[in-house]
Amino acid sequence: METRSFLTLEDTSCEDLREILELARAFAEGRIRDALANKTVCLAFFEASTRTAVSFELAARRSGAHVISLSEKGSAISKGESLIDTIVTLDRLGADAIVLRHQAAGAAALASRHTSAPVINAGDGCGQHPTQALLDLYALSEALDGFEELQGRRVAIVGDILHSRVARSVMPAFVQAGMEVALVSPLTLLPPDAGALGLPVLSSVDEAVEWGADVLYMLRLQRERMTGARIPSVAEYARFYGISRRHLEGGALVMHPGPVNRGVEISGDVVLDNSSLIPDQVAAGVCVRSAVLALSTGAVHRIAA
């Protein structure tokens, strides 16, 4: 059976994305059951996570997999075992897929070189978070009535792009889906040479709305960024890089990978507004990750019609 790791979406074609989303839909609609029966899925979380870990666990269990969870607390990870040793151990215990969350960029790629099991990157440092980008595409496709509807739409990615693995995965995903992408960030939170990505750089949510953004994709501002070194104050950040109700008058949709800092990235009264896809993003996590697990283990190769 052919297996496949999910480390990044950088080389994932539009056709691939469509297939993954269609498979996810089949899972969501209950058209595929027990796809992972007799498979062992290992969740190796070197870094704390709530929604991603829960979402993967549900995705695996609902498809009939055995699930082994290693988290930083109460496992070899907390005893200082190296990444490679942990991965080799899981490999020898017979893991059919390893879901890895790690604090360092490149950890998933490194892990994949030490196991024959497929590795699914559940977030590595500031590197990549491919399943987040897939569930974002899924939630957005559902909201717009189809993957094809993403073509030509404009999405502004707003906030701390420099430190965001989510940004590094959603950028290529949105581009492959045919969307026009703009970055909205102060230069202190923008990767150097971001201009070389060929994406316009805007300097406020106001500008993004003026640019015609159909989707405002908000990134989380980590607390350690709020000390004044890169951002002067939460007030100034919220004023220029936060969403308030007036930004939604033209019908733009709001997305956020969570957890939201209310009043920072998004004003409190908008988080669960009708324009907000945030709950839909969470909901999409399970079926998308079921699809990813099924494809990665080779349990499903083609989409069931």
Partner 1 sequence: MPGVTEPPELLIRQAHVLDPATGLDGTTDVRLSSCRIAEIGEGLRGPREMDAEGLHLFPGFVDVHAHWRTPGREDEEDIESGSAAAAAGGFTSVVMMPNTDPIVDRPVVVSGLVRRVERESRVRARVSAALHVGLAGERLTEMRLLEQAGAFCVSDDGLGTASAGVLRNGMLYARSAGLPVILHCEDHTLATGVVHYGLAASLAGLPGSPASAEDAATATALILAAETGAKVHITHVSTALSAALVSFFKDRADVTADTTPHHLTLTEDLVSTLEGLYRVNPPLRPESDRSGVERALREGVLDFVATDHAPHASEEKELPLEEAAPGFLGHETAFAALYTDLVLGGRLSLGRLIQAMSCAPGRWIGGAGNLTVGAPADLTLADLSEEWTVERGTLASRSSNSPYVGRTLNGRVVGTIVGGEPVHDRTGVNFEARA
Q: Strand locations in 138-214, DSSP E?
A: 154-158, 180-184, 201-202
CB of 154 to partner 1, least distance (A): 22
CB 50 within 8 A of CB 77: no
Distance of closest approach, residue 158 Cβ to partner 1, in angstroms: 14
Q: How far is the CB of 235 from partner 1 (least distance, A)?
A: 7
Which DSSP category does 256 fall into?
-
Taking the least distance from each CB to partner 1, the nearer of 98 and 264 is 264
Nearest CB to partner 1, comparing residues 109 and 201: 201
Distant-in-sequence, close-in-space partners of 40: CB < 8 Å, separation ≥ 6: 65, 66, 67, 68, 93, 94, 95, 96, 97
| Alpha carbon distance 73, 79 (integer Å) | 9
* C-beta separation of 133 from 277 below 8 A: no
- Using DSSP's 3-state secondary structure scheme, residue 197 falls into helix
Q: Which residues bind partner 1 (CB under 8 A)?
A: 186-188, 203, 227-233, 235-236, 239-240
**Toward partner 1, which CB reaches closer, 50 or 227?**
227
Amino acid at 47: E
Least Å distance, CB 138 to partner 1, is: 33
CB nearer partner 1, residue 24 or residue 231: 231
Of 151 and 203, the one with the shorter C-beta distance to partner 1 is: 203
Instruction: Considering the complex, state which of residue 255 and residue 264 has its C-beta at the smaller distance from partner 1.
Output: 264
Query: Is residue 55 within 8 Å of 46, Cβ to Cβ?
Result: no
Question: In whole angstroms, what is the distance from residue 155 CA to residue 240 CA?
Answer: 17
CB of 242 to partner 1, least distance (A): 13
* Residue among 44, 218, 67 nearest 124 (CA): 44
Going from the C-alpha of 177 to that of each of 10, 152, 264, the distances in angstroms are 12, 9, 29
Compute the least distance from the CB of residue 240 to partner 1, in Å: 6
